[in-house]
Amino acid sequence: MAFKQSMEIFEWSKKFPKAETYSLTDQVRRSSRSVCANLAEAWRKRRYEAAFISKLSDAEAEAAETQVWLDFSLACGYLPEEMHKGLYQQYDFILGKLVNMIRQSDQWQPPH
Helix axes 26-44, 49-75, angle to 10 degrees: 160
Q: 8-46 as b/e, with b when 16 or more CB fall inside 10 Å?
A: ebeebbeebeeebeeebbebbbebbbbbbbbbebbeebb
Q: What is the pTM of this model?
A: 0.94
Q: What is the pLDDT of residues 56-99, one digit of tens each?
A: 999 999 999 999 999 999 999 999 999 999 999 999 999 999 99
Q: What is the pLDDT of residues 14-69, one digit of tens each?
A: 999 999 988 999 999 999 999 999 999 999 999 999 999 999 999 999 999 999 99
Where do the domains of the chain lie, and which CATH numbers do they carry? 2-6+23-104 (1.20.1440.60)
| Identity of the residue numbered 95 | L
Alpha carbon 86 to its chain's center: 14
Q: What is the pLDDT of residue 111?
A: 84
Q: What is the pLDDT of residue 112?
A: 73
